[in-house]
Amino acid sequence: MTTGTMGLLALVSGDAEAFCGTYVGQEGTDLINGASQMAVVRQDGVTTLTMVNDYQGDLDDFAFVIPVPKGLSEDNVAVVGEHLVRTLEVYTGPRLVSYSCEDFGGWERPEPKSTGHTPLMALPFALGGCASYEMAEPAGGIGLPGSEEADESAVTVEAEFAAGEYEFVVVSAEDGAGLFGWLEANGYSVGPDAEAMLGSYVEGGHDFLAAKVALDAVPAGSAALSPIQLSYASDGFGLPLRLGTLNSGGVQDLILYTVTSKAAGSVGIANYPQAVIEDECMVDLGEAAFADWYEDQLEEAFQASEGFVWFDEYSWTVMPQYAQEFYATQAPVCDPCPSAHQYPTGSGVTADNPLPDQILLDLGVDMPGLELDSGWWNLEPELSVGRLHLRYGASAVDQDLVLYTSGLSGTEQMRFIEYNRSMESSYPVCGEGWVSDEPGFCEYGIRPTPVLGLVSYGCSSTRAPAALGGLLALLGGLFVLRRRS
């Protein structure tokens, strides 16, 4: 895929931590190769965008322009750490899971026989899970500037300021022609097709945020530019997607991470079609990489579309850690969760806290306090965290993105199970369906063992006290004798 993160909104010039299971990771795979990434937090009419900057090239060639609401000021713009969105990437990523019979309290028969139904105990635990999976990494690129003389009388510079390694300017314009000329004259080479589109944003009541890199402000040894964060109040909930298609080299991908209140629920896209990829099914990868196989599923769905499609890859209700501690509860926040070592440096992730509160706060989430004198019983601290994957060609983007909150919350994720013969009665095979000819299945109950008193269940083995083990064996024998009498 060809894209650049800022290019989506901007006109640019220039080992699983679970109860058990086997890690299926295939090192070096990348589920979002070439995809732009952006986090969108929406609460009480306020939208906070955090845009990952995946620019690759000479820094003195970097520049971008973004349509923004009227009144945007220095207080609404921040430069943040790269680890914020990267943490959401790891947390919400589609995963490949390895299950065995032991994960569900059973064991594999030496010679599987069909029962004609799926054993109830074979269904995965709704909240805990016993699994491992494989996650992913990001990358991309953008364009170059120019410089011409122009009449700047139709453009007003509303604000100029510096933050991080960037020099920002907020401008308003009377028409697209004036704005086009100002941008060209000031080193933002927007291309010949931009004027009409810029005019439509001016008519829609937008100002524009433009930025360049201050080379002397780039941290020594830095390999990437920092993400840029915008926060603003607005009645509408959407993203100006059209402008970013002007410098598109072909098909673009955008990974959109969303955070809303639980009451608002998961986020969807109102004005472009959604596609569904079959998941919760087994896949036999052989020697193939999971990322390559998953890319094939995305591309197949895209090719069947009219040039624009989006996928719901994750939606989970999350109770922040501070609320869990207050209520003295431990709410599941993913299943299975990534292990801490998969997260970026600075994330603060631990084995029992895969999505730290500080990450959410820094992304713009407002978390109300839970002090007893603040009426905490009327608050809803839970959040809905999601991940949407968009794939589109420039010619198919005729409208800006209209987002909506569904009011629905739940625990949905893209999860695929590594093929296991004994799981055939529990999961269908991706693209093929249920195995009908003598499907493999697991045996359940107390597993026979030559070690007296050893009872196997779930994802671990627990040794019962010797007397209890003998009693269980005795009761089992009496049960058999009684049935034969």
Span 121-164, pLDDT tens digits = 333 332 333 333 343 333 332 222 333 444 556 899 999 999 99
For 149-233, strand residue ranges (E) read 155-163, 166-173, 207-213, 228-233
List, as one string, the DSSP characters of 267-286: EEESSS-B-----SSEE--T
Token code pair at residue 34:
């070439």
Strands 282-283 and 415-418: parallel
Question: Is 283 or 373 the better-scoring residue by pLDDT?
Answer: 283
Share of the chain above pLDDT 70, in %: 72
Torsion of CA 404, 390, 278, 106, to 10 degrees: -80
How many C-beta atoms lie closer than 10 Å to residue 192's C-beta? Answer: 7
Using an 8 Å Cβ cutoff, are 98 and 23 in contact?
A: yes
- What is the phi-psi region of residue 390: left when phi exceeds 0, alpha when psi lies from -120 to 50, beta otherwise? beta
Q: Which residues of 15-27 are buried (b: 16+ CB within 10 A; e: fewer)?
A: ebbbebbeebbee
d(CA 44, CA 42): 7
The answer to whether the CB of 24 falls within 8 A of the CB of 103 is: no
Q: Tell me the per-residue pLDDT of 267-277, one tens digit each, with 9 for 90 and over.
A: 999 999 999 99
Of the pLDDT bands very low, low, confident and very high (cuts 50, 70, 90), residue 339 is confident
pLDDT value for 372: 47
Angle at 239 between CA 234 and CA 244, to 5 degrees: 140
Pairing, β 411-413 against β 308-318: antiparallel
Whole-number pLDDT of residue 270: 97
Question: Taking residues 402-407, what's their average pLDDT?
Answer: 95
Q: Per mean pLDDT, which range of 134-143, 213-222, 337-346, 349-358 is the poorest?
A: 134-143
Q: Identify the H or E element spanning 363.
A: none
Question: Greater confidence, 24 or 158?
Answer: 158
Residue owning tokens 């998953």: 294
Query: Are the C-beta atoms of residues 314 and 387 closer than 8 Å to each other?
Result: yes
Cα distance between residue 222 and residue 366, in whole Å: 30
**pTM for the model:** 0.79
Please work out, in degrees rounded to the nearest 5, the angle formed at the alpha carbon of residue 388 by the alpha carbons of 275 and 299.
Answer: 45
Question: How many other CB atoms are found less than 10 A from the CB of residue 299?
Answer: 13
Question: What's the rounded Cα separation, in Å, for the pair 430 and 135?
Answer: 19
Cα distances (angstroms) measured from residue 111 to each of 101, 108, 115, 411, 439: 14, 8, 13, 35, 11
Amino acid 68: pLDDT = 93
Give the pLDDT confidence score for residue 40 in this predicted structure.
97
d(CA 33, CA 153): 43
Q: Which residue has the higher pLDDT, 148 or 72?
A: 72
Q: What is the rounded average pLDDT of the residues 395-399? A: 92
Answer whether 402's CB lies under 8 Å from 238's CB: yes
Q: b/e per residue, 427-448, with b = 16+ CB within 10 A? A: bbbbeeeebeeebbbbebeebe
CA R_g for the chain: 27
Q: If you average pLDDT over every residue of the chain, what do you get? A: 76
Distance CA 7, CA 301 (A): 23
Q: Are 383 and 314 in contact (CB under 8 A)?
A: no
Q: Of the given ranges (92-96, 251-255, 260-264, 450-454), which has the lowest mean pLDDT? A: 450-454
